[in-house]
Amino acid sequence: MSTNNLSYNDQGGSDSAVEVGQETTPTSSNAGAGFGLFSTNFKKNDDLKEMLESNKDSLKLDAMKRIIALIAKGKNASELFPAVVKNVASKNIELKKLVYVYLVRYAEEQQDLALLSISTFQRALKDPNQLIRASALRVLSSIRVPIIVPIMMLAIKEAASDMSPYVRKTSAHAIQKLYSLDPDQKEHLIEVIDKLLKDKSTLVAGSVVMAFEEVCPDRIDLIHKNYRKLCNLLVDVEEWGQVVIITMLTRYARTQFTSPWKEDGLFDENSETAFYESDEKKTKNGDEKKSYMMDPDHRLLLRNTKPLLQSRNTAVVVSVAQLYWHLAPKHEVGVITKSLVRLLRSHREVQYVVLQNIATMSIQRKGMFEPYMKSFYVRSTDATHIKSLKLEILTSLANEANISTILREFQTYVKSQDKQFAAGTIQAIGRCATNISEVTDTCLQGLVLLLSNRDETVVAESVVVIKKLLQTQPTQHSDIIKHMAKLFDNIAVPMARASILWLMGEYCERVPQIAPDVLRKMAKSFTSEEDIVKLQTVNLAAKLYLTNSKQTKLLTQYILNLGKYDQNYDIRDRTRFIRQLIVPNEKSGALGKYARRILLAPKPAPVLESTYKDRDRYQLGTLSHTINTKASGYLELSDWPAVAPDQSVRNVEVIEPVKEWAPSLGKTGKSKLSKSSDDKFYSDSGEEKEKGSGSSSSEDSSSEESSSEAESDEEKSSSQSSEESDKSSSQSEKSSSESDSEQKKTTKKPPQKKTVKPTAKDRSYLLPIVCGPGERLHGFVSKQVPVSLSLFSLCILTPCPLSCAALLLQVSGPAFVPEKSHDLLHRMTGKGLSAQYQFPRQPCLYQPTMVSVQISLTNTTDHPLEQIHIGDRDPTGLDMHCFNAIECLLPEASVTVSLGVDFNDSTQAANFQLCTKEDQFSVSIQPAVGELFLPATMTEQDFRKEQGKLLGMNESSATITMAAENTTRQPISRQVATVANLGVVPSGQDNIHRFAGKTASSGALVLVTVELRELSAALITINTEKSVMGPMLLRDLKPFQEPKAKMNELP
């Protein structure tokens, strides 16, 4: 019924059909204009519109497909927007997808109408299916409408803490889109980036680093803490992400490590052990480094990228190659050669880029590619640009040993039908001849032979090259000059003619008979020559006039007269200049005396060098390198720092001193301290560092601000924090005074939330300055921890990675604390020192990702033990918060200390050394899987919802039998709680018991359901993203209940 015509009329007359009228406005105007010319087009879209308004999905789908086909062909389909946008909420998934595709394309042009669809996406953002959430965010963020920036911001923030890594990946992409839409959001986006950088999922890593590169590539400080993680994840990241991460890490490494190139060969492969000593030495000796020690992190990067040379993705291979080229010690760069040569088998375009990179490399390091020289032989089927690149490389590789092989190969090329290529080969021969003096004569003779070639380009090129070669050693080659003079009549290429003329002039005294004759011929044909030839003729005339004026005086006069009236002003100018210079008259000044010395000055030989000579100013593998100009957005690779910035910034295990260092000291202290310590640590990069700390202070203050007001309105806090950060970054002085006052405030009322504020970032800046290398081992310990601290605030204030659950859930206190303690160190092996550990099941106060462990140390000897502390740990990356060194433990005394260990959600034992003043004991803490959780409280409803998202591979279940009296709530809760630190979820049904928790390190949800079946059977179901932990926990839960059940069956 609602054909377009009808609604068109409606719009004219009635108020009742406002909606319909609105929707058709664009079309109606179009219709008005397009009666004549565009009528067919109008008709077509008209029936599409009708189809879209039908209530059959198949018709709509058909219409959408046709519309998308129009878009794909580049035709304009924007007037259908109103009809299309109505279908955004369709139930049909394919239809919906097509509508999304359409929206993304046209929303920018139809902003007002696009807003109609926003609510649909907002709803979809809450969908249980991760793919729908992700695609909703994708489309929402792709709608480039400035009005919805706040909505996008909110959606991104939410998605950044989504359960699904796929959604988090999408949010990383959305960051870039929002940034390009509204660069003012930068500060907030950086916060999200910082959060996502901490993400441990390989899926997210590539995308977030991409966002980092686009939004804030200068915020290298955000990388420190994540550096090792990125290195370790790298192999498992998808290939595109690998490229981005490797490029970023190359840049990072150049700012953080010292050059491995200075004293090559001296460096120690296993520098890990010597790590601390070298550190100390460096600080003592300052710049005066005796031997180079590679930073273990530098080594880590090189080691972890090497396997990627075997990637099938050529972009990955080249990015690793450039990383090695820019970062590896010279003698290790060789490993990339084979892989690069392998890429030459790939597509033509790949070859092109790879050859360019090899060309740049081969100039500096011939040896790398020399064994593979034959791989660069040219085939007649190669494309022109490939051929010339191969020539370039062959020329660079030429040396005394292989030159004969290369020249033989070049001989084949010179004969090529591709004359451009043949000309290129001649130039290459010329370069070889100048570089390798042994073959200069051979080359020259070969080139002279080419002068009789039938092809003009070849001859011309030969002449030019010969000219250059002769210049380098002009004494003994008058034969060649004579030969060329003979050929002169037959050569038509201007460049070649000009070259010969120049040669004649330059060496006219060696060919006194021929030169005037050539000049005579030129005088005849002067008017018909090209400009470049004319110029050289004038030059030749001038030179001959000076050396042999008897024979050539008249000729010169004649040529100068011709030149005087030439059409080209360059030639007129030159003629005038020459005349004044050489022909003596009363006006000619002092210059005339020097004419001979000016014109016949010995000229330096031209250097024939590669066009790739200075390409290495660009990072290899980049677009800028390929086009040899700085592409927009190119990030300069910095030089190595003379002194390495502090390495400990990358230590992830450092923990903020809760008490000794008042929280706000971090802020004030930073700028001051870094200044004062400049001379010590940052003698060279002091200025840069200061800048960095300045900006970081602003970052800190903003994060602090927003975190302290996390519960309050999001909008408000963000605007405040940006204000705050503006202030502090513009005037660091002011900000420090501000925070001074704040410090007073906080010290007044310490047991408040603010006391735990120093975030990871704070720490990273605080520690390098505060702790000297020796101190690090002891760590910082809180002697008193604010007890009134609410756990909830802790989980919000601290940036915990994967804190998806944090927003949803509160962490509750443990339901049950097992008394059981385990032996850490037996008193026999510990020479009298005995240690036991237990899991107090309290959230760790040092860092939320850690599991707290209580260790009770007892001295069973009869003498006091001194200096009990924790020494080396294994895996070196183990994130552990040590206790303060115990100065002295009296005989028979015991003391309990607490420890935080980030087990990284695995049951791998944490190994470390417990040291006393005299001894060291290797000990290990082996956590049961149940201890890696923190209990969480949630409603039954939430529980079901979350469970719904964690099906399939994330679910593990088993059926067990249990005794009848154990089937009530209490014993079951008790039993589960004994095994695992989980919270009880209130349940409406009597036969189903639910427990919830999250893993300490990554915050992944763990949901346990015990469903009682008939008789004594029970079904245990565990849902968790951590597919390893699920079955482990199940295994732990099973035996616990089974034996009991069996016992009860006995008579």
**Region binding another protein by CB under 8 A among candidate stretches 115-123, 126-134, 280-288, 870-878:** 126-134
List binders of another protein among 197-226 (CB under 8 A).
Answer: 202-203, 207, 210
Contact flags string 232-251 toward another protein, x per CB under 8 A: ---xx-xxx--x---x----
> DSSP label at 15?
S
Q: Does 388 engage in binding with another protein (CB under 8 A)?
A: no
Give the whole-angstrom CA distance, residue 623 versus residue 629: 9
Amino acid of residue 300: L
Tokens of 988: 């409406």
**Residue among 421, 441, 422 at smallest CA distance from 433:** 441
CA dihedral 726, 727, 730, 734 (to 10 degrees): -160
Q: Does 621 engage in binding with another protein (CB under 8 A)?
A: yes
Q: Does 631 engage in binding with another protein (CB under 8 A)?
A: yes
Element (H, E) at 896: strand 894-902
Q: Angle 384-397/403-414 helices, nearest 10 degrees? A: 150
**Buried-state track 278-305, b at ≥16 Cβ within 10 A, e below 16:** bbebbeeeeeebeebbbbbbbbbbbebb
Q: Are 147 and 111 in contact (CB under 8 A)?
A: yes
Q: Which of 184, 263, 349, 965 binds another protein (CB under 8 A)?
A: 349
Cβ closer to another protein: 604 or 952? 952
Cβ closer to another protein: 86 or 385? 385
List binders of another protein among 276-315 (CB under 8 A).
Answer: 307, 310-315
Within 10 A of 670 (CB to CB), how many other CB atoms are there? 24
Give the whole-angstrom CA distance, residue 130 versus residue 948: 11
Q: Does 411 engage in binding with another protein (CB under 8 A)?
A: no
Q: Does 742 engage in binding with another protein (CB under 8 A)?
A: no
Region label for 952, one of left (φ > 0), alpha (ψ between -120 and 50) or beta (otherwise): left
Cβ closer to another protein: 320 or 865? 320
Q: Which of 215, 294, 323, 353 binds another protein (CB under 8 A)?
A: 353
Cβ closer to another protein: 237 or 433? 237
Q: Does 454 engage in binding with another protein (CB under 8 A)?
A: yes
Q: Does 78 engage in binding with another protein (CB under 8 A)?
A: no
Distances (CA, A) of 703 to 188, 225, 642, 719, 912: 9, 17, 33, 12, 34
Cβ closer to another protein: 344 or 785? 344
Matching residue, tokens 């509750």:
812
Q: Does 492 engage in binding with another protein (CB under 8 A)?
A: no
Cβ closer to another protein: 412 or 829? 412
**Region binding another protein by CB under 8 A among candidate stretches 57-65, 271-279, 474-482, 977-985:** 57-65
Residue 967: CA count within 13 A, CB half-sphere: 20
Cβ closer to another protein: 244 or 665? 244
- Could you tell me the smallest distance in angstroms from the CB atom of residue 633 to another protein? 3
CA dihedral 726, 727, 730, 733 (to 10 degrees): -150
Q: Which of 290, 374, 587, 820 binds another protein (CB under 8 A)?
A: 374
List binders of another protein among 89-108 (CB under 8 A).
Answer: 93-94, 97-98, 101, 104-105, 108
Q: Does 383 engage in binding with another protein (CB under 8 A)?
A: yes
Q: Does 71 engage in binding with another protein (CB under 8 A)?
A: yes
Cβ closer to another protein: 235 or 817? 235
- Could you tell me the smallest distance in angstroms from the CB atom of residue 635 to another protein? 7
The string of DSSP letters for 228-296 reads: HHHHHHGGGS-HHHHHHHHHHHHHHHHHHS--SSTTTT---TTTTTTHHHHHHHHHHHTT--SS----H
User: At 401, phi and psi to the nearest 5?
Assistant: -75, -40
Cβ closer to another protein: 339 or 556? 339
Cβ closer to another protein: 61 or 582? 61
Q: Does 513 engage in binding with another protein (CB under 8 A)?
A: no
Q: Does 629 engage in binding with another protein (CB under 8 A)?
A: yes
Give the whole-angstrom CA distance, residue 378 versus residue 355: 12
List binders of another protein among 132-161 (CB under 8 A).
Answer: 132, 138, 141-142, 144
Within 10 A of 330 (CB to CB), how many other CB atoms are there? 12
Q: Does 166 engage in binding with another protein (CB under 8 A)?
A: yes
Distances (CA, A) of 105 to 51, 62, 99, 110, 713: 21, 19, 10, 10, 34
- Could you tell me the smallest distance in angstroms from the CB atom of residue 131 to another protein? 5
Q: Which of 284, 379, 783, 863 binds another protein (CB under 8 A)?
A: 379
> DSSP label at 147?
G
Q: Does 627 engage in binding with another protein (CB under 8 A)?
A: yes
Q: Does 632 engage in binding with another protein (CB under 8 A)?
A: yes
Q: Which of 18, 33, 69, 890 binds another protein (CB under 8 A)?
A: 69
Map 403-424 to HEC letters: HHHHHHHHHHHHCCCCHHHHHH
Cβ closer to another protein: 305 or 427? 305
Partners of 838 in beta bridges: 854
Cβ closer to another protein: 454 or 550? 454
Q: Does 318 engage in binding with another protein (CB under 8 A)?
A: yes
Contact flags string 939-958 toward another protein, x per CB under 8 A: ------------xxxx----
> DSSP label at 802?
T
Q: Does 528 engage in binding with another protein (CB under 8 A)?
A: no
Q: Does 72 engage in binding with another protein (CB under 8 A)?
A: yes
Taking the chain, what is the end-to-end CA distance rounded to the nearest angstrom? 83
- Could you tell me the smallest distance in angstroms from the CB atom of residue 420 to another protein? 9
Matching residue, tokens 């470049």:
532
**Region binding another protein by CB under 8 A among candidate stretches 118-126, 267-275, 412-420, 820-828:** 412-420
Give the whole-angstrom CA distance, residue 411 versus residue 603: 31
Within 10 A of 964 (CB to CB), how many other CB atoms are there? 10
Q: Does 412 engage in binding with another protein (CB under 8 A)?
A: yes
Q: Which of 417, 528, 784, 788 binds another protein (CB under 8 A)?
A: 417
- Could you tell me the smallest distance in angstroms from the CB atom of residue 304 to another protein? 11
Q: Does 61 engage in binding with another protein (CB under 8 A)?
A: yes
Cβ closer to another protein: 345 or 820? 345
Q: Does 1008 engage in binding with another protein (CB under 8 A)?
A: no
List the Cα angle 672/674/679 in 5-degree steps: 120
Total residues binding another protein (CB under 8 A) = 100
Q: Which of 50, 158, 332, 455 binds another protein (CB under 8 A)?
A: 455
Residues whose CB is less than 8 angstroms from the CB of residue 849 and which lie 6 or more positions away in sequence, other chains included? 800, 801, 879, 902, 1000, 1001, 1002, 1003
Map 18-75 to HEC letters: HHHHHHHHHHHHHHHHCCCCCHHHHHHHHHHHHHHHCCCHHHHHHHHHHHHHHHHCCC
Cβ closer to another protein: 119 or 629? 629
Cβ closer to another protein: 416 or 677? 416
Q: Does 354 engage in binding with another protein (CB under 8 A)?
A: yes
Contact flags string 914-933 toward another protein, x per CB under 8 A: --------------------
Element (H, E) at 781: none
Q: Are strands 865-874 and 879-881 parallel, antiparallel or unpaired?
A: unpaired
Q: Does 622 engage in binding with another protein (CB under 8 A)?
A: yes
- Could you tell me the smallest distance in angstroms from the CB atom of residue 645 to another protein? 25
Cβ closer to another protein: 318 or 1029? 318
Amino acid of residue 828: M
- Could you tell me the smallest distance in angstroms from the CB atom of residue 836 to another protein? 38
